[in-house]
Amino acid sequence: MNKEQTQQIVNLLHEDYRDCKVQIIKSKSQFIKWKIVELVKLKSFAFIHRKYIWSHSKEVLSNEVAGSYNSKLKNIQVYQFSMLEDCKDLYTSLVLFHELRHHYQDKYGRLDRHDIEDDCNRFAWKMYDRYYAEIKNILEIN
């Protein structure tokens, strides 16, 4: 999935979801590079944040996490290297919708609610089903 395709998929959603920076990370080395950039940007934050980044990075590099939303940097990362080759781009769309919903929750002060993951999963599947034909078209999948 290239930048243009990612933007086209984001644009399927309401404008509330379009103001978040999205990075599709294709390799572990690219992920490590971005984490270093992030650590530099976050250098003014407390040690606890850096400790969180470290434990989160370990999970990502073990392929345990498919995507994340960073409420400090207001950005989304989707980790394509953790996905099966066959359905990588379709799955990326689903993860993208999930993480964009976290951005929406953040925007409306809902990130501390207990049901945010259920809400994200519901939203992601709903959008995936609704725009399945458009997504396949954008990704040039038959």
One character per residue 91-120, x = contact with Zn ion (rule: CB under 5 A) = --------------------------x--x
Q: Which of residues 2-21 bind Zn ion (CB under 5 A)?
A: none
Minimum CB separation of residue 107 from Zn ion in Å reads 15
Q: Which of residues 23-82 bind Zn ion (CB under 5 A)?
A: none
For Zn ion, which is the closer residue by CB, 5 or 121?
121
C-alpha dist (Å) from residue 125 to 6, 50, 55, 93, 129: 17, 32, 28, 10, 6
For Zn ion, which is the closer residue by CB, 35 or 102?
102
Give the chain's end-to-end CA distance (angstroms, integer).
15
> How many residues interact with Zn ion (rule CB under 5 A)?
2
H or E element: which one contains 119?
Answer: helix 116-130
Minimum CB separation of residue 68 from Zn ion in Å reads 8
Minimum CB separation of residue 98 from Zn ion in Å reads 6
**Antiparallel, parallel or unpaired: β 75-79 and 21-25:** parallel
Q: 76 with 94: CB under 8 angstroms?
A: no
Minimum CB separation of residue 87 from Zn ion in Å reads 19
For Zn ion, which is the closer residue by CB, 64 or 117?
117
Which residues contact Zn ion by CB under 5 A?
A: 117, 120
